[in-house]
Structure 1
Amino acid sequence: MEIYLNYGEENFLVEYNTKKKVDEYNLSNPSMNLVYLNDDNIDKLIQNCEQLPFFDEKKIIVAKNTGLFASGNKKVSTDVVEKILEYVENLPDYIVLIFSEESVDKRLTAYKKISKIAKCTEYKYNSIVDLANWITKGMKTLGGKIEFDVAQSLAESCGPSMTYLYTEIQKLATLSKEGREINKELVNSVCMKSEQGIIFDLTDAIGNRDSKKALALINDFVLQKQPEQYLIVMIYKHIRNLYAIKVAQREGGAGAEALGMNPYVYKKAVPQANKFTEQELRKILDKIIELDEKSKIGEMNIRVGMDTIVALI
């Protein structure tokens, strides 16, 4: 059986390696023998598997972001999930089945079953150093040039998503080919920080008690046209990570893996956590929870609430 499960937070690598696997088969008739499914039509998986390939030895089915192996999946019924898992245990030899998922829950029965018969590969965010090397090579491929320390700065402000970074690399490569020197000042002026980059900077500003910069960063986030509720979620998750680090430090220390954090996030978060006391982080979390609850019942405007939280710190 040829079953693959590519998943993880680094969507760029999930999609890249899914496409790479499809290309390996060099289908002569992809319009007939390459089928894409998602959570809207995953119930048609068995039906598609039963149809023989047309003038090819293999038929490839790419099931993307189906949610079959993720917790909280409300779109696909339990009955459909069970039927699919039972069917793929005896998948026809002519079928190549590739699941391409954003996330999985390894505690679920569905994941445990598929992991016994599929080649499962997780793609996590890369480290800053690995991203900087990738940026340097990418710039060279596109005809541009960037020094490693500048690439590292770009990774820190616009990472960790390679999809997001690639857009910025293309922008900088164009400027480099025009004769512009790609330095940190240029990167800061022309590249758009990622949402995570803004959240890290915002937390730094709060930790440094720089309310003016913190308020400006909140404004930058809003200008990216992201829902204000999303801002609450992002900040809450980040502050919660810092709080977990502080608690772990008090109890003797724990690394990224023990805390369930990505090494990229953990490395950047530890210095931030050290700017706060455990009590300060608990206070911020409580304020964010209060803002979230009040905003949902119309008692508080999110933007005003965030500005108030920053002012209190």
Structure 2
Amino acid sequence: MANLSTNIAGLHLPNLFFNASGVCCQHEHELKQLLESDSGSLITKSATYEMREGNPSPRYVPLPAIQSSINSMGLPNEGYEYYLAYAKKYDYSNPKPLFVSLSGLSVADNKKMVEGFVAANLPCVLEINFSCPNVPGKPQLGYDMEAMESALNVLAPIIKKPFGIKLPPYFDIAHFDTAAAIFNKFDNLAYLTCINSVGNGLAIDFETETALIKPKDGFGGLGGLMVLNTALANVNAFYRRCPNKKIIGVGGVTSGKEAFLHVLAGASAVQIGTQLKEEGPKLFSRVKKELEDIMVAKGYKSLEDFRGKVKTL
């Protein structure tokens, strides 16, 4: 049998798969579904300091012909105290470690939320989301290198323990270089999650000549198979540039094949968003089996056998 186990932020995951933050994780009953599934871990919805209803609907639309989606959710969530309460009662004897995503609308909000979790002294892992593209009037911190470094200077010493950040997709080699140089300054920044959705795409219905989603005049984040190659590039770029950090790959995973490619590019774990939204948590059983079959066929016994070993011409 192929071994799909992995380690992130010093914690053991029985397998590399879990949900992308934002999918099947806003409410406790959804998190329970993840616990009962074949995922190797779970992460909560990105929390803001106060509860948010998010953007008006329709705000998520699948694009089934290309196994993709467009969304402008606007960070709907129950507020950080809801997820803090969940983390306090989480059964940490469960083999699935708990990751908690925080996405404050300001550094001050992130600081207050981080302080709340630090004070609780819980064994969950924090992930700071620097990459939500769908809050009107709030640019992605991940595209402001100076502001991102400033935020890390504030948050990393407070967190102290290993933590992660979720990143937007980068498209320029210079941006990979600059961002990686920043990340490598912070020893307890243990992992990078690449990527959030590709921001500000526009999907239009051919028949009605109308944008498919309502917020932001139809502009929204793109996910699913259409973003696979961008995700793989970001995973590999940071795998090469940040040798002391783990990479969680997100984007375009519809089957075990895309998960294999993420690991080949350098991912230590793989999150699934659009396909999980469409298929539900039962998908984890399928993609696990598909990846195991691929590894057996290729003669790989563990993820370490091929992680980051993509060949170049």
TM-score normalised to structure 1 length: 0.28
User: Which has the larger helix fraction?
Assistant: 1
User: Which has the larger strand fraction?
Assistant: 2
TM-score normalised to structure 2 length: 0.28
Higher RCO (CA 8 Å, separation ≥ 6 residues): 2
